[in-house]
Amino acid sequence: ARGIRRYGFHGLSYAALVRILAARGPLPQRLLACHLGNGASLCAIVNGRSVATTMGYSPLDGLTMGTRTGQIDGNAVLRLVEDHGLDRAKTLLNRESGLLGLGGSSDLRTLHAAGTADAQFALDHFAYWAVRHAGSMVAAMGGLDAVVFTGGIGENDAWMRKEILSGLAFLGVSSDPAANARNESALHDPTSRVAIWIVPADEERQIALEAAAVIEREAAAVIGREAQAVMLRKAQTVIAGEGA
């Protein structure tokens, strides 16, 4: 309404993830993709296409992030604007909230090392909301066949992955602790009904591939128009000759 639309974000990351998995073998039908970094989101992917995502009109929505609130009641936003003014509210919501506001740092490595109650609360809060939102993504897909982690946190923070995967155990998700600790590409154990993988983020290559595809289409269109013009000129020449 009124020009505001739910877009979602991290599309390049998820497109790259699907491309990489499809190159390895059959793509899981129902895939929960977790892009976890300073910016974080989840995406429900069915047969290679996104059907739901945690981010919305802006990257502020969804999961708790490094400095962004994540999901927040609209009236809470209005209250912040009333109390602090528009510009200050924007800064609070986007740059001073999330892990930074809860635990004093936007970096999970710093929070792990801090050992304070606030730092641990921030870590637990991040994991809790990731699991909670994951439930809505699974509901949107009608089930779950694979979980994939990407992004700085998703690829490197074994503790956070363990917490999130433990929260999804009711779905038949079971990880191998040793594989998880080593950040291996496959994390599921033999009893897991759901595949679990780590896929390195590859957004730059995805940009290059999509840009190349656009250039190729445009070039083909130009060549097609030129060929059409040549054929038209030949036809006009033939018609002119017959008329003479």
- For 11-43, write each residue's pLDDT tens digit: 999 999 999 999 999 999 999 999 999 999 999
Given a cut of 80, whether residue 205 has pLDDT beyond it is yes
Q: What is the sign, positive or negative, of the torsion defined by CA atoms of 64, 114, 197, 139?
A: negative
Nearest CA to 199 out of 10, 26, 16, 8 is that of 16
Q: What is the pLDDT of residue 6?
A: 85
Q: What global pTM score does this model have?
A: 0.88
The number of angstroms, rounded, from the C-alpha of 220 to the middle of its chain's C-alpha atoms is 32
Given a cut of 60, whether residue 243 has pLDDT beyond it is no
Given a cut of 70, whether residue 239 has pLDDT beyond it is no
Long-range contacts of 27-30 (CB under 8 A, 24+ apart): 28/145, 28/146, 28/195, 29/145, 30/138, 30/141, 30/142, 30/143, 30/144, 30/145, 30/146
Cβ neighbours around 97 below 10 Å, total = 21
Q: What is the mean pLDDT of residues 168-183?
A: 99
End-to-end CA distance of the chain: 63
Confidence tier at 232 by pLDDT (50, 70, 90)? low
Crossing angle of helices 86-95 and 74-84, rounded to 10°:
130
Q: What is the DSSP letter of 188?
A: B
Q: Read off the pLDDT of residues 187-196 as tens digits, 9 standing for 90 and up.
A: 999 999 999 9
The token duo for 28 is: 């899981």
CA of 207: how far to CAs of 10, 64, 214, in Å? 12, 26, 11
Mean pLDDT over each residue of the chain, to the nearest integer = 93
Q: Read off the pLDDT of residues 134-173 as tens digits, 9 standing for 90 and up.
A: 999 999 999 999 999 999 999 999 999 999 999 999 999 9
Q: What is the pLDDT of residue 26?
A: 96
